[in-house]
């Protein structure tokens, strides 16, 4: 999964908009945006998948690369520092739009941070973005399994529900007034665009309109 390959696969899947949400990092966001510009690919939303201190995964989306990178620096300061075991987790590379290596994270990215679930929305707002809980139906890092519920004090207006989750759960959160995101949550190239029939009507196909719709 490299920025250029992700963008090209998304283009083949005829997706209009994709989000780049690496775990606790925005190091490859700029490369993905540039790669998409080079191949006239889909709109790329700069983002991150934040792991909170409760081990809940939260999606953060930002209007610009600069906002995302500023948020990434903040999250890096809040991330617990554990050396990456490359023999177990592999290398954590930073690349450019041509997938040429420009850097590498030495600390493991898939760890929790000092940021709590109740702080996530304010962290996103600080950098002009939005936050919503990821794959709420999943037992691993899902907010319902870990905390049991989503309450109004968390400040979320949107939730992400896995494509294969029961429709009963989707209906429940629609009735509670949440926007529903259902995406492929791809962790490998073959999954990009799979199990994804999500359609969101926007005035224009751009990052600002999408964020405003989910906000």
Return the CATH number at 34: 3.20.20.140
Q: 7: Cβ–Cβ under 8 A, 6 or more apart, which residues?
A: 18, 32, 35, 36, 39, 41, 42, 44
pLDDT tens profile 30-59: 999 999 999 998 999 999 999 999 999 999
The pLDDT mean for the chain works out to 92
Please say if the pLDDT value at position 215 is more than 90. no
Distance CA 118, CA 109 (A): 21
Number of folded domains that form the chain: 1
Tens of pLDDT, residues 148-172? 999 999 999 999 998 888 999 999 9
Please tell me the pTM assigned to this model.
0.93
Question: In angstroms, what CA-CA distances link 27 with 34, 68, 100?
Answer: 13, 9, 13
Q: Give the residue numbers spanning the domain of 13.
A: 3-214
Residue 189's pLDDT is 82
Plot region of 90 (φ>0 → left; ψ -120 to 50 → alpha; else → beta): left
């Amino acid at each position: 999964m490299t920025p250029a390959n992700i963008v090209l696969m998304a283009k083949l899947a005829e997706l209009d908009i994709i989000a780049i949400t690496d775990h606790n990092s925005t190091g490859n966001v700029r490369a993905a945006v540039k790669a998409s510009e080079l191949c006239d690919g889909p709109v790329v939303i700069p983002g991150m998948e934040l792991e909170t201190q409760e081990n809940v995964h939260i999606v953060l989306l930002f209007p610009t690369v600069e906002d995302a990178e500023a948020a990434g620096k903040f999250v890096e300061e809040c991330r617990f520092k554990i050396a990456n075991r490359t023999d177990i987790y592999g290398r954590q590379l930073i690349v450019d739009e041509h997938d040429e290596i420009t850097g590498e994270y030495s600390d493991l990215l898939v760890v929790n941070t000092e940021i709590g679930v109740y702080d996530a929305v304010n962290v996103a707002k600080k950098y002009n973005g939005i936050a919503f809980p990821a794959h709420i139906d999943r037992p691993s890092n899902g907010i319902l399994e870990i905390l049991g519920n989503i309450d109004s004090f968390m400040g979320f207006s949107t939730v992400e529900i896995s494509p294969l989750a029961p429709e009963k759960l989707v209906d429940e959160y629609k009735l509670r007034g949440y926007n529903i995101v259902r995406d492929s949550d791809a962790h490998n190239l073959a999954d990009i665009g799979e199990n994804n029939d999500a359609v969101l009507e926007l005035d224009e196909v751009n990052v600002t309109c999408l964020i405003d719709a989910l906000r």
